[in-house]
Structures are given as C-alpha cells and as structure tokens.
Structure 1
Amino acid sequence: MSMMVDTAIIVLKTIILLLGSGVTLIALRAFRRTGEPALRALAVGFGTITLGAFLAGVAHQFVGLSLKQGIVINSLLVAMGLAVILYSLYIQR
C-alpha cells in the first residue's frame, strides 16, 4: 500500500509541476510582452505555488521528512503564492 501511495504522490506532484510551470511561463511571457506589473506578480504567485508542491514532494520522497512536514511546506508556500496572486489582482486597476 505504501508503494502505491508513494507512486501516486510522485505522479501527482509531477503533473502539478508541469501544469504550474506552464501557467507561470505563460504569465511571465505576458509580463514581458506588456510590461504589466500585475502579470509579473501573477507569475511569481503561481511559481511559488508550484515550487511549494515540488519541494513538499522532494522533502517527503527524497529527504525523508514525514508526510505531515511535507504538507506544512506545501501549505506555507501555497499560502504565500495565493497572497501574491491576490496582490496581483489588487494592483490590476
């Protein structure tokens, strides 16, 4: 059972990494094209969320932290990323 859960975590974290990287890249390209600060903040926010998912998976699978510790890492970075995304929507006037 543990091997199946580990495999699911690796597969899902990989999917999150790919999708999050895609969204971050699109937002970054839009920022470079327009120079709009809100798009830069949006890219940073999505990048932070993606990094959180990646680091949580690495911490659990390769560093040996517990699943709970990985969840704390993920939750902290997701909260930070969402705060930056909220800011990006706020500065868009």
Structure 2
Amino acid sequence: MSSHTPALVVALKAITLALGGLISYLSYRAYRRTDARALGYLALGFGVITLGSLLAGVFDQFPTGFERNTALVIESALTAIGFAIITYSLYSE
C-alpha cells in the first residue's frame, strides 16, 4: 500500500460526502417546492448512500471497535438500500 493511499481515501470520502450531501439537499429542496413524492424518495436514497460512505470513513479512520470488513459490509448495505430507494423513486408517481 502506498503511503499516499490513506490521504487519498480521506480526500475521496470528503468529496463523496460533499457531493452526496449537495445532491440530497437539492433533491430535498425540489421535493419541498413541488411536493413530488418521487423527489422525496430521491433525496432519501442519496442521503442513505452518503450516510453509508460517511460511516465507512469514520469506521476506517477512528478506533470504533468495528473491523474493516464490518465497515465495508455496512457501507455496501447502505449503498444497496440507497440505490433501491432511488430506483423506487424513478418508478413512483
């Protein structure tokens, strides 16, 4: 593993958090403006994915008692759930 890898992972997680948070916020604002339930689900889906990335980053960088594999499973599960919610938002009216 390169000595730059941990810093790169932190930078990429920070970018993911910023962009995911922005997409969630903008989707939520659009939902509040239009009352379109699909946009509410879209915001929720991106929020869940962003939360998964945030938790994985926290578990990776700080001593939480969780193993790396557990953090990976949590991130993967929240990503899958988030994408399922986004998919539902695309099919809901």
Give the structure with the larger helix fraction: 1
Residues 14 and 24 of structure 1, relative CA distance in 2, 3 Å threshold: same
Q: Is residue 83 of structure 1 aligned with residue 93 of structure 2?
A: no
**C-alpha distance in 2 between matches for 1:48 and 1:2:** 30
Residues 24 and 83 of structure 1, relative CA distance in 2, 3 Å threshold: same
Between the aligned residues of both structures, percent identity stands at 47
- TM-score for both structures, normalised by structure 2: 0.90
**C-alpha distance in 2 between matches for 1:22 and 1:51:** 13
Segments of 4+ moved more than 6 angstroms:
none
**C-alpha distance in 1 between matches for 2:89 and 2:54:** 23
Q: Which runs of 5 or more residues in structure 2 are unaligned?
A: none
- TM-score for both structures, normalised by structure 1: 0.90
Greater CA drift, 71-80 or 3-12: 3-12
**C-alpha distance in 1 between matches for 2:14 and 2:68:** 17
Aligned length: 92
Q: Secondary structure at the match of 1:31?
A: helix
Q: Which runs of 5 or more residues in structure 1 are unaligned?
A: none
Q: Output aligned runs, 1:1-93, within 5 Å.
A: 1=1, 3-62=3-62, 63=64, 65-92=66-93
